A and B are shown apart, each in its own frame.
Chain A
Amino acid sequence: MANVMEAHDLAKRFGDLVAVDGVGFSIAPGETYGLLGPNGAGKTTTISIIAGLLEADAGKVEVGGETISPSAIGPKRRMGLVPQDLAIYPDLTARENLHFFGRLYGMDNNEVKERSNRVLEMIGLTDRADDLTKEYSGGMKRRLNIGIGLLHGPELLILDEPTVGVDPQSRNAILEAVEALSGEGMAVLYTTHYMEEAERLCDRVGIIDQGRIKAEGTRRELVNLVGQKDRVTIAAAGGQLQEAARRLSGLEGVEEAGADDQGITLLVVEAGRLLPVILSELSQNGISVSGVTIEEPDLEAVFLHLTGKALRDV
């Protein structure tokens, strides 16, 4: 199936500052794509170009096969934007906010009513739907901010750091909502500077810094790219642990193996794939395993590796 969104070689300067510099990526239906980068990396600028708010200096964006620009009105229907900063009317109720933006998307009265109810349910604001939003807590406003973006059932939902400044409970609700929508087949573009969110939600991640995508792929691919290994710690007893470790180190994909009287510690390329082999090897040698922990290298490590910022920070 064709990609929902394709961006090619996007570039944007603000005066002398190069905010976006040759960014390109695509998102398939049902895929959640994460743009992971620090403050000022160019995430919001990239998103603004994709959403047709900002004219790019160079490059091209297509959504559903239609070219995006600020003056191209039609394809905007295919997208829903959740801006980084709250974009709701404080003097309207949640329902009125939803209604207004829903109508702008071309929904008729009945449709917008029905969908609003569903969205209010989803973002947990049904009880407060008819209160002015200026009376809401920060987390409630954030949830409404998201609800407006997905109200019209876009093919591509764009969320710009939707969890910043949100309490853990609201944050979890937001992440769950995104997962649910993605499960229903919505393509999602998600920016964040939280590694855990990118890891949890995103099928693929683009690591962006100083306006450039430094690397892109599934978490696994990114980790492999920088040659990071998984650490597998096996709590075990009985048998010859040292001997078992030596034998395991001969397996393909195992980089290092060591043992002490608590168990065995391994550095492996892909723990998920190797673990069954390792476990059967151990049981054949009469070693009973009481627990396994896998520490995968996280995107943080990848990011530091890619941008070289860790070197400077140290």
Chain B
Amino acid sequence: MRNFLLITAKDLRLRIRDKSFFIIGLLAPLALAFIFNTVFGSAFSDVAEPQLGIVDTESVDSAQVLANIAQQVGASWQELGSKSEAETAIEEGELHAVFVVPDDFDSGLATGRIGTIGVISGIDAGITGDIAAGIARGYAHSLRQTQVSIASAIAAGGDPATVVPAALASSGQSLVSLGEIEAEIRQLDLNTQTVAGMAMFFLLFTAQAGFLSLLEERNGGTLDRMLSTPTRPASILGAKAAVSVVLGIVSLVVLIIAGILLMDAKWGDPLGVALLVVVGVLAAVGIAAVTSGFAKTAEQAGNIQGIVGTVLGLLGGAFFPIGQDGGILARLTALTPHYWFNRGLSDLASGGGVGAALPAAGWLFVIAAVTALVAAFVIRKQVSR
């Protein structure tokens, strides 16, 4: 344990001294995230704020519910006089999607009939159109669930004029937590996503630092020298992994803070973010340990990691988003730590507590555990002769 700490401290000192950590761990991801954001930021910026509207309707209670939901998902809201007015606004790109609520929608509810809410959206509305459709679907769905309570309240002599709005409001409440819609509105804003993607991409390289130095020491003779002292090989290996973990965590934490200060990135619940950082780093260190286990020199390990890191980064959507609609690519995406890291952060950003990050954190932990298991076999030979 003592020698484990001594080696870890020595290595951290060396990594700080040779400045490689500052470049790979901090400078490069920040700079790239900044560039990506400047170049692509405007192209995607409208995704960040959905612009929704509603055609004027006599069903004011439902209109109010929809307006509330729109507000909760961070969308702008506009009322339009007629359907044709709405179509023009969409054609001209002023709005992404517009709700059409029949005039008799609310009154129908009192008699147990649920009408249909229409959604008009442009073909290029993309995610935002889906969000609007999801809101409408989810609203109708939750109304079906509250239908029973409305009916029984009226049967018990309740005044439809008060019972219906109350039930609508409560269904609007429950709607926001509906998983189906959440998945669609769960989008980190672009700045945050860019920083997160870059951070995970470079994390794979930062996380290699410990293992690169192991290979350097192996070829430079100092590993033999350590092994000739009363030091267990496991302490050396452990120290190398610990160096990677420490540098990885520092790099992520600094990036997250810098993201807030410099790029106005928004992260969610700090505890959840901390959890994701830890398991994210563990996953990255696991992957780096496996790739380093196959290399003979530090240079070779760096090259292998370069390929692995780029492929995972592309698949994981670190550079541009990968479609989520099924398909082989979407399935491969789910094998990358980038995807789960981003997903976890999105879950937090959409307002969840630590619990919201648990599924993503769980998958990151699985990646860490599996790679650690493989690494245990392949990297052991690097600390013996």
Which of A's residues lie within 8 Å of B, judged by CB?
A: 48, 51-54, 70, 73-74, 76-77, 79, 81, 83, 85-89, 91-92, 100-101, 103-106, 148
Min CB gap A143→B, angstroms: 15
20 further A-B contacts with Cβ under 8 Å, apart from A86-B221, A100-B6, are A51-B228, A52-B227, A53-B227, A53-B228, A70-B233, A70-B385, A73-B232, A76-B230, A81-B224, A81-B228, A83-B224, A87-B225, A89-B222, A91-B17, A101-B229, A104-B7, A104-B226, A106-B2, A106-B230, A148-B225
Closest to A47 in B: B228
Nearest Cβ distance between residue B384 and chain A, in whole angstroms? 6
User: Which one of B18, B221, B231, B384 contacts A83 once the chains associate, using CB atoms below 8 Å?
Assistant: B221
Known contacts A85-B221, A87-B220, A87-B224; A100 and B230 CB within 8 A of each other:
no
- On whether the beta carbons of B225 and A101 are closer than 8 Å, the reply is yes
Give the residue name and chain of the A residue nearest to B227 (CB): A53
What is the distance, in angstroms, from A24's C-beta to the closest C-beta of chain B?
Answer: 21
B interface residues (Cβ-Cβ under 8 A, vs A): 2-3, 6-7, 10, 13-14, 17-18, 220-222, 224-233, 384-385
For B229, give its contact among A76, A88, A89, A91 (CB under 8 Å). Answer: A76
Known: A91-B18, A100-B6. A83 touches B385 (CB 8 A): no
* Nearest Cβ on chain A to B31's Cβ, whole angstroms: 25
Query: How many Å lie between the Cα of A74 and that of B384 in the bound state?
Result: 17
Q: How far is the CA of A76 from the CA of B233 in the complex (A)?
A: 13
Residues on A with beta carbons closer than 8 Å to the beta carbon of B231: 73, 104
Kindly identify which residue among B14, B224, B228 contacts A79, using a CB–CB cutoff of 8 Å. Answer: B228
With CB as the reference atom, state the residue of chain A lying closest to B220: A87
Contact status B227-A70, CB under 8 Å: yes
**Residues of B contacting A76 with CB < 8 Å?**
228-230
A124 to B282, CA, bound (A): 45
Set of chain B residues within 8 Å of A104, measured between Cβ atoms: 3, 6-7, 226, 229-231
Residue contacts A-B, CB under 8 angstroms, 24 given: A53-B224, A70-B385, A76-B229, A77-B230, A83-B224, A83-B225, A83-B228, A85-B221, A86-B221, A87-B220, A87-B222, A87-B225, A91-B14, A91-B17, A92-B13, A92-B14, A101-B225, A103-B3, A103-B6, A104-B7, A104-B229, A104-B230, A106-B230, A148-B225
